[in-house]
């Protein structure tokens, strides 16, 4: 009995330690879901969407226990390559945004600490990478407002985008 309990505990710890950065977001998977898959998901949930600059926009979307001012689903060659969640001081107080930053930065540090690669320009710009997915948390002042964002990006599709831009130069 003790061996079974010990085995179970070790299994749970192993699963937690080897967790990859989340790729399944709002019923869609980075690098796998098509534009149609993502649109259909929100349509089936009766969630209104709009298009802006080639990205699917969902306002007031609930994700990870919070309602986000905007979620932007971006595509490359028809596949989902980035999901960008944003809240700003246009709709929330700076104090509430401070709380979101504290909560999510601590949560992600604890969950993905082994994938941490840098604190970009300040301590409120964190980047995690697991060889497949980039996860970036940003809290900054931009165009007259405070903005907190969580950004999930497929690194292979991002490399493809960068290569096509580089080849044009």
Tell me the CA distances in angstroms from 112 to 63, 125, 136, 161, 169, one per residue in order. 18, 15, 12, 26, 36
Report domain extents, the chain: 27-168
Q: Above 60 in pLDDT, residue 13?
A: no
Q: Inform me whether the pLDDT recorded for 86 exceeds 90.
A: yes
pLDDT in tens, 132-166: 999 999 999 888 999 999 999 999 988 888 887 76
Q: For residue range 106-134, what is the model confidence (pLDDT) as tens digits?
A: 999 999 999 999 876 665 889 999 999 99
pLDDT for 124 equals 85
Q: Indicate the pTM of the whole model.
A: 0.83
Q: Is the pLDDT of residue 4 over 50?
A: no
């Amino acid at each position: 009995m003790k061996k079974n309990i010990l085995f179970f505990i070790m299994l749970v710890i192993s699963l937690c330690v080897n967790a990859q950065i989340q790729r399944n977001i709002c019923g869609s998977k980075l690098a796998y879901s098509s534009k149609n898959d993502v649109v259909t998901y929100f349509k089936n949930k009766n969630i209104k969407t709009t298009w802006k600059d080639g990205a699917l926009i969902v306002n007031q979307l609930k994700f990870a226990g919070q309602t986000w001012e905007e979620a932007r689903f971006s595509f490359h060659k028809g596949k989902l390559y980035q999901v960008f969640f944003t809240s700003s001081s246009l709709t929330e107080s700076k104090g509430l945004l401070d709380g979101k930053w504290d909560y999510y930065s601590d949560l992600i540090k604890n969950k993905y600490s082994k994938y941490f690669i840098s604190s970009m320009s300040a301590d409120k710009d964190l980047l995690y990478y697991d060889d497949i997915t980039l996860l970036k948390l940003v809290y900054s002042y931009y165009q007259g407002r405070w903005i907190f964002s969580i950004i999930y990006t497929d690194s292979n599709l991002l490399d493809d985008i960068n290569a096509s831009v580089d080849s044009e130069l």
